[in-house]
Amino acid sequence: MPSYNLKTLCLQTTEIVKEVGLFIKQELGKVNSSAIETKSKNSLVSYVDQEAEQRLVQELSKLTPEAVFLTEEETIATQKGALRWIIDPLDGTTNFLHQLPFFSISVALQENDETILGVVLEVNREECFYAWKDGGAYLNKDPIQVSQNPNLADALIATGFPYYDYSRTKNYLAVLEYFMEHTRGIRRFGSAALDLAYVACGRFDAFYEYSLNAWDVAAGAFIVQEAGGKVTDFKGGDDYLFGKEIVASSSLLAAEIQEVIKKEMIV
């Protein structure tokens, strides 16, 4: 496998993602109801998702011809390989289809199952969050870091509501109730990749959600870590990529937030 300069590869990836972001932005408001498919309960897809994914795969394949892909829309077959791109071409499809300006592109690169590069683009504001292994985290060329707020009472928490897996709803609502009463507020915007990016730059103090997939969180979680944050599953372990549950925050609040979530969600 060729040796890559990760900084160069990351910056090249951001340019590809930005180009696809322009395509998505141009299609905003143009998708009619007949062009929307329901993959599963409350999981929507349109030609925009599929075309965006195909463009990402095509261009990223030129950068890394030997790489394989794990993608949400499965426009390319999933294979095993040492170098693997994990892609969500449009995280927040429901927002996009309803013309709510909070959706993103999420692209991560793994080498031997270790994430080494991540890019999250907020399409509407053209904010590009990115990081490469041991290189720190950035927003449009400026270094970023997680919140330095040490007090849960002053924290703004992000989450995602269950929208198809309701098996843990009561537990989830107990966590929600606690944070409603003990923090500055809670936000639910509908793009986990962007929620994580906002944790990385300190806009949110923490984010938690369950029933997510690897393409939702791979890039954002990595950017949080490179920005100095901590990312775990609900038990405090590291099975957040494929374990369908994630908690991300600064190290200053991690233990307190983890305790609340573990108490209510681990049954």
Q: State mean pLDDT over 18-36.
A: 87
Residue environment code for 103-126, b if the CB has 16+ CB neighbours within 10 A, otherwise e: bbbbbbbbbeeebbbbbbbbbbee
Tokens of 231: 């990312």
Residue 141 sits at φ, ψ, to 5 deg, of 80, -15
Q: Where are the beta strands (DSSP E) in the chain?
A: 36-40, 43-46, 68-71, 83-91, 104-111, 114-122, 127-132, 137-139, 142-144, 156-159, 185-187, 206-210, 229-232, 245-250
What whole-number distance in Å separates Cα of residue 82 and Cα of residue 93? 30
Q: Residue 163 in contact with residue 169, Cβ under 8 Å?
A: no
Q: Using CA atoms, how far apart are residues 148 and 247, in angstroms rounded to an integer? A: 17
pTM: predicted TM-score of the whole model, two decimal places: 0.94
State yes or no: pLDDT of 42 exceeds 60.
no
Expressed in angstroms, the distance from the first to the final Cα of the chain is 44
Asked whether residue 115 carries a pLDDT value surpassing 90, the answer given is yes
The CATH class of the 6-144 domain is: alpha beta
Architecture of the 152-265 domain: 3-Layer(aba) Sandwich (3.40)
Could you report the per-residue pLDDT of 50-64, keeping only the tens digit for each? 999 999 999 999 999
Express each pLDDT in 92-101 by its tens digit: 999 999 999 9
Q: Where are the domains of the chain?
A: 6-144, 152-265
In residues, how long is the chain? 267
pLDDT confidence of residue 89? 97
At 103, give phi and psi (nearest 5°).
-150, 165
